Structure 1
Amino acid sequence: MEVDDQVKQVQITIQGAKESNSPEGVGYAVRNQLSSVSLHSQYKRWILLTFFAIIVIFCQSAATLLGRLYYEKGGNSKWLSALTQVVGFPILMPFLYNRKNIKHNSSEQTEPPSTIVLGSIYMVLGTLLAAVAMLFAVGLLYLPVSTFSLISASQLGFNALFSFFLNSQKFTPFIVNSLTLLTISSALLVLQADSSGSSKSPNGKYIIGFICTVIAAAGYSLILSLSQFAFNKILKKQTVKELLDFIIYESFVASCIMLVGLFASGEWKTLTTEMNEFELGKTSYTMTLLWIAVCWQIFSVGMVGLIVKVSSLFSNVISTLSLPIVPILAVFIFKDKMSGVKAVAMLLALWGFMSYIYQHYLDDLETKSKREGVTDGISLVQN
């Protein structure tokens, strides 16, 4: 139900109550109507949030595991691995250009930002996205996928910090507790040598992978907070078209940078040999890269959708739900060892995640209480 329709329905309810001289009063009728509208909107919102959350969790888990499979079976190009994280944007174009025009209520009719402003936003975020994709590719190459996933959970802490400065995110004891636990969880992992044998000591490639993954987590958190800031302060319109435009242009800039890096580094010369020597065959090589690109792009849609509907911090919290999924699957798929340190790190990270979820639950209760107070106030005025 659109906002205009909701307002008209309330107006009809008020007029009907007045004409019928309802003994309950106009205020009673308005309160019932607003409660019905509020309940409908709440159900619709949570259905949409659930949809976004499911595609974020599923696609992130699948893309991470497929990315590690690429390395495990003979892939070795960091630039190509990074490219697959951003190059899937063409699959969104049919939805953009076949979309019917959407009507906006008058309160949303604002002056659109200039082309220069929009171009600057896409250039900055696209460049950051390219850097983050490259760092994540290096981290996934040098770390077991379970360790990589656990360290990536630290982005929730970084996101809370950036949200405090950019999005006016408030800190509560539960959020502070969440950040502390996630920090300790990541710190434990740096003390552990790479159990997959890709490095012989904590001072080798394991440390490089750890540092790259932590920096990438911080960078991705910054992207999420800047995206929320751009939607709230600059783009303002939060429609499907704006959401798709945002993802497509940002990914296009990042893809161009990745392609330049791929050719400038000379790694493109080895791709034919890499495909021929891929352990699962040429077809599997192509399909692995294709599905990595598709999963990461659908993941981006879910993340931006959660940013628009709630906040960048909430989208990051949903992203960390894949935390227990990837390490557990990695034990069976890639024979990663679930050591005691990893188990403790996972438990601490889950504890930190639940702490934040509880704070979000408290925020929902507070919002509901305020909404009921406003409804009661309206009914008193109308009476």
Structure 2
Amino acid sequence: MKAIIDEFKLILQGKFIWIMLIAPLIISAAFGYVFKNNQLNEAPVAVVDMDHSAYSQQLIEKLDADQYIDVKYITYNYMEPNSFLYNEEYFGVIYLPAGLEKAHTQGGQTNIGLYVDTALATATTYLRNGVTEVINAENATTAAGKLVAMGVSSAQATNFTTGLSLQTRLLYNPTNNTLMSSVIGFVNTVFLSILGGATLTIVPRLREQGLLAEALRRPLSLVLRVVPYAIIATVSMYVVMGCLKQVGGLRFEANVFQLWIPFLMYTVSLSLLCMLVGWSASSPAKAAGRITMILLPSFILSGAQIPVALLPPILQNVSHVLPLSWHFKFLRGLGFRGGDLHYFGQELGGFLILITSFLVVIFLLMLNEMRKIRKAERDGDMHTDSVDTTTQVITTETTSSASAPIKVSLKKNGSGTPKEVQ
């Protein structure tokens, strides 16, 4: 318990709590506002009408009436599509060929051209759908009219032209909201870097302060030092999701009383992984650089940018080692889809296995660290004993030399003066 209190005191003295709570909040608010309008309605297009007919004008009006199309410019002379698209003034160009009305009257087939600027793929997705809907509806209406002219009733003509009707319902993210994909991925990447950067340095900080040997005597207390960081990070996640929901209109249907369980399991598992990665660093400064060992794989393999199902099978298995992969499963399942927690027993088990595995590796590192400390203490004791023995010998010899009589020998040279004194 003392270790947890010490970490809380350290957090309160530093900037972690402010960075953990405020930085993700600012980022989520900014992105929520920027990406609030997640789809483009009324995409501006240009129409090149080479038919100059009443029917072509009717078709242009139908295109313009679609919610995804805004006919901003009509020309009756041929122009290259690039001239409309270079400056992004238009997102698409529709070509109505000459003889369109004649082919329509005689029941012939006509090719209508659609040029779409796929350099802006997100902006033009619904433009393509809108043009397709208008053309399909026009074909069905034309075919039904021809059948009625042949003596078939209107109801029969409608059945003949439609046949099977597909009714599609888009669930959970019908408007392809980027808040539920790219923005969530980016916000969680920032979140990971802040929490991971703090917990990476726990063991190196104790080592630098000379407190690691004492901390290893209570292994559980050392592991529990990640709890304050996990609690603050969990609170930060609640704040971030609430901000995205209020500012950006994020669809988030999770039960707030159930959500803390996967949030806390994620922050604890991530903190333990970071403690494991930063264990061998000699100082906090050297440990901080190791965040890339967790950040880059998490960003690529967790489903933040592309679905895990699109990854090669071996990388799909690797992704199970990353806490962020399990975190995204809960975000999508509980938050986006509104599922109840009892549906996620397998995912909760995955988190528990992950936490247990990290704890086992950390305790093995503790044993190895304690072995090194004992060896260093033994080497130090042997060195001290050697120094003491050497000092005793020198003292004995000095005493013996001091008690021995001093002999002086004088030798005379030719003049009778002493030559040498010993």
Higher relative contact order (CA 8 A, sep 6+): 1
**Shared fold by TM > 0.5?**
no
Of Structure 1 and Structure 2, which has the larger fraction of its residues in helix?
1
Q: TM-score, normalised by structure 2?
A: 0.29
Of Structure 1 and Structure 2, which has the larger fraction of its residues in strand?
2
Q: TM-score, normalised by structure 1?
A: 0.32
